[in-house]
Amino acid sequence: MNARNEATSEGRDTGTLGKLMILLDLVTHAEGPMRFTDILALTDQPRGTLHRQLSHLVQEGMLEIDGDGRYSPGLRLLDLASSSWAKNEFRLVAEPHLNTLQRLTGETVHLGVLRGTSIIYLDKVEGRQSVRMFSQIGNASPVYCTGVGKAALSILPEERVTEIVGGLAFQKFTANTHTRESLLVEIADIRSGGCAFDREEHEVGIRCVAAPIWSEDLSLIGGVSVTGPAYRLTMERLAEWEAPVREAAKRIMTGMRIGLGPRR
């Protein structure tokens, strides 16, 4: 079981719903369709119980099973994800500011939120010259090697940052991926400068500049970024975009306070 699924399993409610969610996580994040025996080997469920749970998920459209008995994500998941994305109020508040930032820079703009030790991308506005990169709406990226992730960490209290960083595995994606020590140094720099940079730390040839976004009670923490290929986005160019990115983040937070404040 990979690190994501280990983290998903630990600390989760082990009741019926929790077990079903673990199975969904396992199948939806697998590299390809999974056989029953593959799933059985990665869970601690009895064979009969696992078969019933998978059958329920298939009946509800959450999973599909092909003629070879392999399980893959079901179409109902796509429907639920699409509905959730379309109705996400935070994304709707941010949308016009993301579009403005994309028009200004011409590069790809991301909106992401912090969930555990990952950044979940809620929106992505493609640049004028689309570049193939890992990020897609709904994808999770490690918090320690993405601009949005590091920007989000910079908003958290010191003790929370220490707790999160202490539990990270720090997979080496590129030669520039942070270690625990170098990440903590950069977080301090981000706090003083207001922006974070991804210097080809997650993907070779991809750079970004990001600014944090947060609600007053810190129930929502994330960021907005401008991302593109390193051959176009020199560090000098990214430095020029610090102010526009910070301004976009500021406008999104203002919109959050106005549009997502307490309903009376």
Does residue 264 form part of some domain?
A: no
Looking at the structure, tell me whether residues 63 and 139 fall in a common domain. no
Range name among 22-31, 41-50, 72-81, 156-165 with the lowest pLDDT average: 72-81
Strand pairing partners for 225?
110, 210
Q: Answer whether residue 44 is part of any domain.
A: yes
pLDDT digits (tens, 9 = 90+) for 147-197: 999 999 999 999 999 999 998 989 999 999 999 999 999 999 999 999 999
The range of the structural domain enclosing residue 240 comes to 88-259
Residue 83 has pLDDT above 80, yes or no: no
Predicted local distance difference test score (pLDDT) of residue 84: 58
Is residue 4 over pLDDT 80? no
Among 58, 80, 102, the domain-final residue is 80
Residues 72 and 100 in one domain: no
Number of domains in the chain: 2
Instruction: Name which of 27-31, 146-150, 251-255 the model is least confident about.
Output: 27-31
**What are the C-alpha distances in Å from 79 to residues 64, 117, 146, 249, 262?**
14, 26, 28, 30, 29
Residue 116 lies in a domain: yes
230/161 same-domain check: yes
- Pair (106, 143) in one structural domain: yes
Q: Is residue 130 part of a domain?
A: yes
Q: Are residues 37 and 92 in the same domain?
A: no
Q: Which has more confidence, 209 or 87?
A: 209
| 12 found inside a domain | yes
| Same domain membership, residue 176 and residue 159 | yes
65 and 175, same domain (yes or no): no
Q: What is the DSSP string of 22-83?
A: HHHHHHHTSSS-EEHHHHHHHS---HHHHHHHHHHHHHTTSEEE-TTSEEEE-HHHHHHHHH
Whether residues 95 and 66 share a domain: the answer is no
Alpha-helical runs (H) found in 88-179: 89-105, 147-153, 158-166
Report pLDDT for 44: 79
Residues 101 and 46 grouped into a single domain:
no
> Is there a single domain that holds both residue 96 and residue 202?
yes
Question: pLDDT tier at 137 (50, 70, 90 boundaries)?
Answer: confident
* Domain end point (choices 54, 80, 106): 80
Please name the residue that has the structure tokens 């689309």.
130
Domain assignment present for 32: yes
Mean pLDDT, the chain, integer: 85
Q: Are 57 and 23 in contact (CB under 8 A)?
A: yes
Backbone angles phi, psi at 185, to 5 degrees: -65, -45
Once rounded to an integer, what is the mean pLDDT over residues 73-98? 74
Q: What is the pLDDT of residue 261?
A: 55
Query: Which pLDDT score, from 0 to 100, does residue 1 have?
Result: 39
Same structural domain for residues 135 and 247?
A: yes
Q: Are residues 23 and 107 in the same domain?
A: no
pTM, rounded to two decimals = 0.70
191 falls within a domain:
yes
- Domain edge (last residue) among 35, 54, 80: 80
98-128: per-residue pLDDT in tens? 999 999 999 999 999 998 888 988 889 988 7
Domain at 13, CATH number = 1.10.10.10
Q: What CATH number did the domain enclosing 201 receive?
A: 3.30.450.40
- Do 245 and 208 form a contact (C-beta atoms < 8 A)? no
